[in-house]
Amino acid sequence: MIDPILGVIGGSGLYDIDGLIDRRWVRMETPFGEPSDELLFGTLDGQRLVFLPRHGRGHRIPPSNINFRANIHALKEAGVTEVVSVSAVGSLRADLHPGTFVIADQFIDRTFAREKSFFGTGLVAHVSCAQPVCARLGDALEEAARELKIPCRRGGTYLVMEGPQFSSAAESELYRSWRCDVIGMTNMPEAKLAREAELCYATVAMVTDYDAWHPDEGAVTVDKVLKVMQTNAESARALIRQVAPKLKDRNAFCPEGCEAALEHALITAPEARDPAMVEKLRVVAGRVLRG
């Protein structure tokens, strides 16, 4: 029997969740360091929920300094089973206007300054990221967005850049030539780590601007982004309230196989595994390490 707990990772502009009852902020420690902030525990329309502001309350942490491993580890340790990630992005398509929510289903990872795996020397694993998001969660998010009449696009490729600078015009045109749909700075390695932690994961990419390619829009600036961000954050809070009840009745394993991502991923022979690494990965990979 599954007891689903919804985890929400809030991106730029989303630092709290409305409507939670039995609210409590809890500081958590992990073997990978401190998460971005305390975790907010509560219940939303009968669904247990844990919220984590990705950049910390007040937006203190830039993308490259986010401790993604600690964030995902803390959510896993808190009992979270499904993760909805919310992030601000730029649009690489003329038909994806600011205010549109894109439920992305693919990523291109262009980051280079981040720790990207829980595993390493002493305990090696290779998970599949061919389908990096949970279609079941995506279905629920799409349904909720349609019900709220939030402009929504199901599917799309999210290019994750390192940042913190915005793209050059040449970079923006390059990513368009790759047929990417949106660009942001935060969903990698987050999605990869969620897969390693055997968590269902889906992302809501909230368009704030047209990156640097649009001939009529000019360069991306923080003031332009902030103008759209407030409206997007209000819509995101409404979306979370709408989707939470849709997830509370799951009573079977995810048909997408998210909860078994590590089933055949460990490659280090049991007798060669570093005991310290095994202990460090007890929360993330304990299901497959107990045998």
Q: What are the percentages of helix, strand and coil residues in the chain, rounded to 5?
A: 30, 25, 45
Q: Which of 37, 109, 181, 209 is catalytic?
A: 209
Q: Which of 211, 216, 249, 274 is catalytic?
A: 211
Q: Cα torsion at 3, 284, 259, 180 (round to 10°)?
A: 120
Instruction: Output b/e per residue, 26-48; b: 16+ Cβ within 10 A.
Output: eebebbbeebbbbbbbbebeebb
Judging by DSSP bridges, how do beta strands 21-26 and 106-109 pair with one another? unpaired
Q: Which residue has the tokens 């990978």?
A: 32
Identify which of 33, 103, 16, 104 has the alpha carbon closest to the alpha carbon of residue 68: 33
Residue 209: active-site member: yes
Judging by DSSP bridges, how do beta strands 152-154 and 157-160 pair with one another? unpaired
DSSP class of 190: H
Residue 181: active-site member: no
Contact 154, 142 (CB under 8 A): yes
- Give CA–CA dist 42/198, Å, rounded: 22
Q: Which residues are catalytic?
A: 209, 211
